[in-house]
Structure 1
Amino acid sequence: MAGNHSAPSGPDLALGIALADLPDGGKLVGHRDGEPVLLVRRGAEIFAVTATCSHYGGPLADGLVADDSVRCPWHHACFDLRTGEALRAPALSPLACWSVEQRGDRIFVGEKRKKPAPAPRESDAGGSQERIVIVGGGAAGFAAAERLRREQYQGAIVVISDDEALPVDRPNLSKDYLAGKAPEDWIPLRKESFYARNGIDLRLATRVADIDVGAREVVLGDGARVAFNKLLLATGAEPVRLSIPGADQPHVHTLRSLADSRKIIAQSGAAQRAVVLGASFIGLEVAASLRTRGVEVHVVAPEERPMERVLGPEMGDFIRALHEEKGVIFHLGDTAASIGASEVVLSSGSTLAADMVVAGIGVRPRVDLAERAGLATDRGVLVDAYLETSVPGIYAAGDIARWPDPHSGESIRVEHWVVAERQGAAAALNMLGHRKRFTDVPFFWSQHYDVPINYVGHAEGWDAIEVEGDVTAKDCLLRYKRGGRLLAVATIFRDAESLEAELAMEQSNA
């Protein structure tokens, strides 16, 4: 992912700094051999790690130190200060670490520490004959495979994906990549060589037709069978398709895959006007990206305010005004009735010119496999606190999983990228027998032009919203409560407070 390649700032840490310049609990950014280094003091211990997050290059000095870890202010990745290990998604790559020496009342940063070599893995023939099969090549499936190898799992790993592309950084498909601000090489989570190097049998463009629970096999679309000892279902969600006349034309798009994003980009070059159906996060991010490319954008949605169901009326009004400032034209309280070759006819009778149409009217979890296999489902695949389904040895993670959330006390299903990655990693640990409860607080971010919205927790409904700060000034924190209990927090440009809210919710789960 993107890093911070600006000139190093702060003191040259090889020359040392005064101990008094780094109080207990303090952070300081300097550099060593041209690389930005973050110093963190925890009592008598001082840690030195890369100063920028390995996900998108967020400034860790602005993050939160909790115990012996540091959390990124942008997207809430978490790193071990002792080892640099990426403890939580969305970061997957570790931070570099440096040796630190205290001489009298000064601190010196020495050489970069070498990463310990992983224990050698035995070959399948000479080692474990176990096989873990992962169905799905999205965030959860990738994170599970990556974590299994990081934990030095010795058995075979087979990842079966019906996508033609390597696992990708999906949030970018509607954000920077779609807007033309992110290069193609940002998009794969790992290069193709990663899978071969780590002994991960990644089968792309491959459909799983059924799960034979009794035989412990998955049945592929061509009739071939793949045996498993443990199985992870990470089939994700699929866009809700339009059912109106004209929805099957080549200039009508949904956005879920890299191929989808590429098609929209290709058409946007010649398009003058686009109609986005739906004022969801994905729809509005597409609107922002297309406006960045100079396309005229009309957004059609049935609700009164965009995002009101998730963020409430005040934030909804702000989001609408933000997009209108950038030239987006809203048609709210309306829906599309039909799509022609160059226009969209609305239910109200209005007609909008359209060279291209993007439908962002929601997604539905892909639970067909689970249902046919007899797994317990209820608006998703039901899992326990360890992400195990009703069939022992079969786990589910990501958009399809409905799990018992300790903070809200409810069984919830969340369609967020970071949650999927974290669940994939947790499921991997549990397939290895660690018995780790999934208690992470849900987190997502949305980007609208230069305005990021961070959201921690989960509130399907609330009876009170407390607003701190000024939403219109893009400096605010909103608390979503029900019965006096805090369920979620949304922030704009209050990154530290977002991290603190997440930590407080985690501690209440303990």
Structure 2
Amino acid sequence: MSQGAETIGEDFALGIDSAAVVEGAPVRGHVGGKDAIMVRKGDEVFVVGAFCTHYHGPLAEGLVVGDTIRCPWHHACFSLRDGQALRAPAFDALARWRVEQVDGRIFARERVKTAPPRPVPARVPRAVAIIGGGAAGFAAAHALRAEGYDGPIEMISADSAEPYDRPNLSKDYLAGTAQPEWLPLRDPAWYREQRIDLRLGRRVERLDLSGRRLLLDGGETRGFDALLLATGAEPVRLPIPGAEGSTAFYLRSVADADRLIAACSGARRAAVIGASFIGLEVAAALRARGLEVHVVAPEAVPMARILGPDLGAHVRRLHESHGVVFHLENTATEIGSGGLTLKNGGALAADIVAIGVGVRPNTALAEAAGLSVDRGVLVDACLETSVPGVYAAGDIARWPDRITGEAVRVEHWVVAERQGQTAARNMLGRGERFDAAPFFWSQHYDQAISYIGHAPAWDRAELSGDPASGSCEVSYFAGGRKLAVATLGRDLDSLRAEVAFEKAMGALL
């Protein structure tokens, strides 16, 4: 995640030949030792920082779209004109430099300051309340301040930790290669500086929407003018004996991850119930810690329902090559202190059991308040619920998706962040439709799968390339309509698929 000390390419401060900068093809270099890229758009040339401010992805390998550039790793989007992070998962702006063209050469001059926030419309909420301290809640609070909103913001989170990078929990953090200080999205001082009242370890017991008040645990009440519901989801609990025992672990919070990490000390064998993305990421992380890992799942091919048989089979082979043992077309019927009892009558020894069989949206608060709920909190294209001034985002929101033509609910981190940003801007009267194509990534050892779009059901999967080579693309269709694209080792193709979906939805003009 940290920038290397060695710079690459020419020093743009000394100037480069104008002919070397081709439209849409970023040129890697530096400005006085600071990594940078130079990008041409028509007669204009921009110089901005070379690395994404999210996970340090190389923007020189990204995609230029209009006057923006998108990160090849996790699809963050930045303005080339002012360096601002336009879409999550990045929040911090890129460095940028003034550009001058003289006698056929292009020079990067002095560093340019970050642009001021947009002016706020005359009518804004007197106070904003955000219920939930996850991806959507944090992104909304950040966007409100970035858009210039100066009123009170209160964020109420049942989690005892400041908002953190949840996807990392099943990846590097669980594997032991990410330090705890990498997880927080911002340090505590940021919330104080931004005047965001962050209430951790607190629950909202009831919503009084007509009176615009929240009732917190302990009897405290808080008022609001605009409200974002971002209560997220919770793991599905297995309805079998022992699933709540001392050897069984669910992974949702950093506290869950810390308990699982502590249990790895002295453990030799682990069982993972569920061959989902989370389940297999946990399996990879536990292998990195040196544990023997067995995966139990009911399907014949891991993740075939989502990724198709070819890519699913590749994922299985990849894990097997790292020592994971699969017990497929099987389920656990009981968890004991020494391991699992399986449906086929077998037994599996395990010191710890990680359970990853899906999550359920936390919609009880919304439902009790009388909001429209149907397999999620129903929202319109601007993420507003059935009550004006009340928005929902993230794992609980079910919105009209123009890719599938249906109302959908998606449990992706980046989707939650982007929805939080959209909801915040709409609280300020922007009238912005949420039309970002859903995106997520999943890390398995040294290979990352990127998935763009949403295909809950598909009738045809077209494979391009060979998964075994580490480079392939799978497109998913229903009734002749492309709904989603998964890629392995083809980051630019994933970005191009994102742009194609946006164009199809009319979101990109």
Aligned in 2, Cα 1:116/1:465: closer, same or farther, shift over 3 Å?
closer
Identity across the alignment (%): 57
Q: Name the stretch that deviates more: 357-366 or 310-319.
A: 310-319
2:344 paired residue among 342, 348, 362: 348
CA contact (8 A) 2:124 2:429 kept: no
1:306 maps to a residue whose letter is P
- The corresponding residue for 1:318 is 314
Q: Say whether residues 1:256 and 2:252 are aligned partners.
A: yes
- The corresponding residue for 2:383 is 387
Matches within 5 A, 1:425-504: 425-504=421-500
Task: Give distance in 1, aligned partners of 2:259 and 2:113.
Answer: 43
Task: Give distance in 1, aligned partners of 2:83 and 2:449.
Answer: 27
Aligned in 2, Cα 1:42/1:300: closer, same or farther, shift over 3 Å?
same
Aligned in 2, Cα 1:129/1:390: closer, same or farther, shift over 3 Å?
closer
Q: Say whether residues 1:306 and 2:274 are aligned partners.
A: no
**Partner secondary structure for residue 364 of structure 1:** strand
**Partner secondary structure for residue 45 of structure 2:** strand
Task: Give distance in 2, aligned partners of 1:446 and 1:499.
Answer: 16
Matches within 5 A, 1:258-273: 258-273=254-269
CA contact (8 A) 2:11 2:31 kept: yes
- The corresponding residue for 1:277 is 273
Task: Give distance in 2, aligned partners of 1:16 and 1:404.
Answer: 49
CA contact (8 A) 1:3 1:54 kept: no
- The corresponding residue for 2:47 is 48
- The corresponding residue for 2:503 is 507
**TM-fit CA distance, 1:129:** 7.9
**TM-fit CA distance, 1:248:** 2.0
Task: Give distance in 1, aligned partners of 2:450 and 2:190.
Answer: 31
Aligned in 2, Cα 1:508/1:118: closer, same or farther, shift over 3 Å?
closer
Q: State the Cα deviation string for residues 433-459 of structure 1 (Å, max 9, x = none).
A: 111000110000000000000000000
**TM-fit CA distance, 1:490:** 0.3
- The corresponding residue for 1:291 is 287
1:289 maps to a residue whose letter is A
- The corresponding residue for 1:124 is none
- The corresponding residue for 1:20 is 19
- The corresponding residue for 2:241 is 245
Task: Give distance in 2, aligned partners of 1:393 and 1:361.
Answer: 35
Matches within 5 A, 1:32-111: 32-111=31-110
Task: Give distance in 2, aligned partners of 1:164 and 1:41.
Answer: 46
CA contact (8 A) 1:128 1:154 kept: no
Aligned in 2, Cα 1:128/1:413: closer, same or farther, shift over 3 Å?
closer
Task: Give distance in 2, aligned partners of 1:89 and 1:119.
Answer: 18
- The corresponding residue for 1:188 is 184
Task: Give distance in 2, aligned partners of 1:119 and 1:508.
Answer: 29
1:166 paired residue among 150, 162, 187: 162
**TM-fit CA distance, 1:50:** 0.4
Task: Give distance in 2, aligned partners of 1:114 and 1:438.
Answer: 30
Task: Give distance in 1, aligned partners of 2:400 and 2:209.
Answer: 24
Q: Which segments of 5 or more consecutive residues in structure 1 lack a partner in the other structure?
A: 122-126
**TM-fit CA distance, 1:290:** 0.5
Task: Give distance in 2, aligned partners of 1:24 and 1:482.
Answer: 36
Task: Give distance in 2, aligned partners of 1:80 and 1:325.
Answer: 41
**TM-fit CA distance, 1:115:** 2.3
- The corresponding residue for 1:9 is 8
**Partner secondary structure for residue 29 of structure 2:** strand
**Partner secondary structure for residue 14 of structure 1:** helix
Task: Give distance in 1, aligned partners of 2:118 and 2:48.
Answer: 23
Q: State the Cα deviation string for residues 169-226 of structure 1 (Å, max 9, x = none).
A: 0010001111111111110000000100001000000011110112111111111111
TM (normalized to structure 1)? 0.97
Aligned in 2, Cα 1:304/1:68: closer, same or farther, shift over 3 Å?
same
Q: Which segments of 5 or more consecutive residues in structure 2 lack a partner in the other structure?
A: none
Q: Say whether residues 1:370 and 2:366 are aligned partners.
A: yes
TM (normalized to structure 2)? 0.97
**TM-fit CA distance, 1:472:** 1.8
**Partner secondary structure for residue 433 of structure 2:** coil
Q: State the Cα deviation string for residues 374-415 of structure 1 (Å, max 9, x = none).
A: 111110000000000111111100000000001211110000
1:277 maps to a residue whose letter is I
**Partner secondary structure for residue 374 of structure 2:** coil
**TM-fit CA distance, 1:118:** 5.5
Task: Give distance in 2, aligned partners of 1:65 and 1:360.
Answer: 37
- The corresponding residue for 1:131 is 127
Task: Give distance in 1, aligned partners of 2:119 and 2:337.
Answer: 59
**TM-fit CA distance, 1:114:** 2.0
2:82 maps to a residue whose letter is T
- The corresponding residue for 2:419 is 423
- The corresponding residue for 2:145 is 149
Q: State the Cα deviation string for residues 88-124 of structure 1 (Å, max 9, x = none).
A: 0110111010111111011111121122455999xxx
- The corresponding residue for 2:113 is 114
Task: Give distance in 1, aligned partners of 2:382 and 2:370.
Answer: 19
**TM-fit CA distance, 1:3:** 3.2
**TM-fit CA distance, 1:269:** 2.4
- The corresponding residue for 2:212 is 216
Aligned in 2, Cα 1:486/1:438: closer, same or farther, shift over 3 Å?
same
Aligned in 2, Cα 1:77/1:327: closer, same or farther, shift over 3 Å?
same
CA RMSD after TM alignment: 1.4
- The corresponding residue for 1:207 is 203
Aligned in 2, Cα 1:306/1:38: closer, same or farther, shift over 3 Å?
same
Task: Give distance in 2, aligned partners of 1:466 and 1:386.
Answer: 33
Q: State the Cα deviation string for residues 350-379 of structure 1 (Å, max 9, x = none).
A: 111111111001000000001100111110
Task: Give distance in 1, aligned partners of 2:81 and 2:193.
Answer: 26
Task: Give distance in 2, aligned partners of 1:73 and 1:45.
Answer: 23
Task: Give distance in 1, aligned partners of 2:146 and 2:77.
Answer: 16
Task: Give distance in 1, aligned partners of 2:104 and 2:65.
Answer: 25
CA contact (8 A) 1:299 1:329 kept: yes
Q: Name the stretch that deviates more: 305-314 or 368-377.
A: 305-314
1:16 maps to a residue whose letter is G
Task: Give distance in 2, aligned partners of 1:438 and 1:117.
Answer: 24
Task: Give distance in 2, aligned partners of 1:251 and 1:111.
Answer: 58
- The corresponding residue for 1:360 is 356
Give the count of matched residue pairs: 504
CA contact (8 A) 1:285 1:448 kept: yes
**TM-fit CA distance, 1:334:** 1.0
Q: Say whether residues 1:335 and 2:335 are aligned partners.
A: no
CA contact (8 A) 1:239 1:256 kept: yes
2:459 maps to a residue whose letter is D
